[in-house]
Structure 1
Amino acid sequence: MRTRTLGSTGPKVSALGLGAMSMSGAYGEADRTESIATVHAALDAGVTLIDTGDFYGMGHNELLLAEALRGRDRDSYVLSVKFGMLAGPGATPGGVDGRPAAVKNFLAHSLTRLGTDHIDIYRPARRDPDVPIEETVGAIKELIDAGHVRHLGLSEVDAATVRRAHAVHPVADLQIEYSMISRAVEAEILPTLSELGIGLTAYGVLGRGLISGHWSPDRAGLPGDHRALSPRFAAGNVEHNLALVEALRRVAEAKGCTVAQLVIAWVAAQGETIVPLVGARTRERLAEALPALDVTLTEDDLAEIEKAVPQGSARGDRYPAAFMSGLGVGN
């Protein structure tokens, strides 16, 4: 397994990370046994970076990972945990809480659910508009100084917020959506991260399955699948977006890889401190993703990919309208 270092102050991790959100109902009910087997397969393949959120399944995901990681050497994997998203029963959205007291409260619960004495990278899932980012990351700095957290991370914030947070404590990485159809980070975010020596963990590299090469316009989501609310999967948009995938498929076939491997490799090729997160919830999908690290893209390949999916060519926002205002960048 190749490795990459998350910026100048972050940990060394596998060049591909495992995102665990889909194992806790985000895309419909997942098979618990298969989810645990997928985590084991990832670890056995050398994947060391595992990303979760305390609100994934309202604690379900952390408990699942605790079971999957039981008996493993704690130093053999890196846990990235997001916090701060609030919800009521039935997953009713309840806003964001970045108050220092809440940060420490969230961490105490995560440590217990995960069965560990520290989190490797701890990050607010979204910026709380009512709390200065300096106060939120200041609380994380205190947790780092106390040994409960190893590194500070951020998620879905703009370049100005990155700078403000980094002035309080060095930021290891920013987690943000980045894929062939979500490239808004290229304008300001990537240059800022490069300037400050901050890594990037990219989620949504497969567009939540849309550009994986496996989606079809007539595919019905499972009950609870959040993609039913996504503008990019809406009728009229999904057909257009899947036409882009077919253009990618021709490039992938010429390259001797799958569409999923091509789009993962494209994200990894955008910078040496960028680590794609793959939200595989089955061993089959994980097994397809891992060889993406062996796909080398030449300048000609990158030009062909750009021709197939020009920047800004996807239709539909990456989140429903109600959630767009809380993001660091748009599409």
Structure 2
Amino acid sequence: MTTIGTRKLGTTGPVVGALGLGAMGMSDMYGPADETESIATIHAALDSGLNLIDTADFYGSGHNEMLISRALRGRRREDVVLSVKFGSRKNPDGSFQPVPYDVSASAVRDRLAQSLRRLETDYIDIYRPSRLNPDIPIEETVGALRDMQEAGYIRHIGLSEVGASTIRRAAAVAPISDLQIEYSLLSRGPEQEIIPTLRELGIGLTAYGVLSRGLLSGQWTVNQELGARDFRSALPRFSGDNLAANLRLVEELARVAADLGATTSQVAIAWVAAQGADVVPLVGARRRDRLAESLGAAELTLSPEVLARIEAAVPAGAAAGGRYMDQQLHLLDSER
């Protein structure tokens, strides 16, 4: 198995593997997953040096945290960096409740207590609100997180999907380790204001959706069938003419990958990693073979010439369709 290097999340955050593991798909959003294979994939990730595991208390309504806790039994706790989001709420049928998200001070304490129990741990390495609630000042949320940090229940405070102004307000209350946000060849929005703000303040970036939920994998087809529980069926980039246009971009990227002797996925992941030593791509592998492919991205060094070819193949702003449905994008502080 390939081993990877390390990166530091901001000036105050932890040292983590150069890639991180996003565990959502092991429990939610993409249809059924094999639990035994999921646990084996987590073990393989840790063995490779990929020690950052990203989850949320609402992934599978707690299932993802319990799955991770089973995978970590027998492992040294200090060898794992657990990143947990909270705030989103679900119904018994698995659907999300309408916004606003509950990121109040009382929710911080309550949801943290439940995550600690499900993960079978005394502390969480990075704890973060999943989304901003415009009716709850970010100062209240981060202030409560700071209290939990001082009490030893969390090690670092993170943010997710918030814009530059909110990042500044949060950082004025407590040190922020990193911002988690979607960032890929097809989602370049953070480059405008968010990434410059992070770098000014010494905050790292953990990038999810680096393969644009599979579009950049090189495995997607225009006739791809999606299960009833796969939320991509509702995403604009995966429908009709948008999908066809996006797959044409992927075809151009695949030509670059072929010349490098790499897969399209590896080039897409390596491109995100090449955007700075303060960027850690999260790979959403649910199986060991997919993980092994993703780890190959860590061995790719993209020259300036190759980076220019990649940019020409998939120019900024070329993606057809939004990364979420319009009503969801409207709720994201990072999109304002």
Query: Which residue is equivalent to 2:96?
Result: 93
Alignment match of 1:144 (pick from 119, 144, 149): 149
Matched, 1:164 2:165: no
Offset of residue 256 of structure 1: 1.3
> Which amino acid in 1 is paired with 2:53?
I
The question of 1:12 aligning with 2:37 is answered: no
Code of the residue aligned with 1:42 in structure 2: it is A
1:101 corresponds to which letter in structure 2?
S
* Residue 240 of structure 2: aligned partner: 235
Distance 1:46 1:39 in 2: 11
Q: 1:282 — aligned with what?
A: 287
The 3-state SS of whatever aligns with 2:185 is: coil
CA deviation digits over 1:193-224, x for unaligned, max 9? 01000000000000000111111111101230
Match of 2:82 in 1: 79
Query: What CA deviation, in whole Å up to 9, does each residue of 1:50-82 have, x standing for no partner?
Result: 000000001010010010111100000100000
- Contact 1:36–1:64 at 8 Å: present in 2 too? yes
Offset of 1:322 from its aligned partner?
1.9
When structure 1 is superposed on structure 2, of 238-247 and 317-326 the one drifting more is 317-326
Q: Which amino acid aligns with 1:252?
A: A
Task: Write out per-residue CA displacement over residues 79-114 of structure 1, whole angstroms, 9 at most, x where no aligned residue.
Answer: 000000011111232220011011100000000000
Deviation at 1:328, TM superposition (A): 3.2
Three-state SS of the structure 2 residue aligned to 1:57 is helix
What is the aligned counterpart of 2:110 among 94, 102, 105? Answer: 105
TM-score of the aligned structures, taking structure 1 as reference length: 0.99
2-structure distance, mates of 1:215, 1:114: 34
Number of the residue aligned with 1:258: 263
Partner of 1:318: 323
Distance in structure 1 (CA, Å) of the matches to 2:260 and 2:168: 39
1:127 corresponding residue in structure 2: 132
How many angstroms apart in 2 are the aligned matches of 1:280 and 1:268? Answer: 17
Query: CA offsets per residue over residues 232-288 of structure 1, 9 Å max, x none?
Result: 001111111001000000001111111000000000000111000000000010010
Shift of 1:24: 0.5
Structure 1 residues 14-53: aligned runs within 5 Å? 14-53=17-56
Q: Any unmatched runs of 5+ in structure 2?
A: none
Partner of 2:66: 63
Give the deviation of 1:226 after TM superposition: 0.6
The AA in structure 1 aligned to 2:31 is G
Shift of 1:25: 2.5
Q: Which residue of 1 aligns with 2:209?
A: 204
SS at match of 2:155: strand
Return the alpha-carbon distance in structure 2 between the equivalents of residues 113 and 93 of structure 1.
Answer: 20
SS of residue in 1 equivalent to 2:207: strand
Two-structure CA RMSD over aligned residues (Å): 1.0
Q: Distance in 1 between matches of 2:220 and 2:230?
A: 14
Q: CA deviation at 1:129?
A: 1.4
Equivalent-residue separation in structure 2 for 1:181 and 1:105 (angstroms): 36
Q: Which amino acid in the other structure matches residue 46 of structure 1? A: G
Question: Cα deviations across residues 121-180 of structure 1 (Å, max 9, x unaligned)?
Answer: 000000111100000010000000000000000000000000000000010000000000
* Aligned partners of 1:29 and 1:222 also within 8 Å: no
Report the TM-score when normalising by structure 2.
0.97
After TM superposition, the runs of 4+ consecutive aligned structure 1 residues lying more than 4 A away are: none
Q: In 2, distance between residues paired with 1:100 and 1:281? A: 33
Q: Provide structure 1 residue ranges, at least 5 long, that are not aligned to the other structure.
A: none
SS in 2 for 1:152: strand
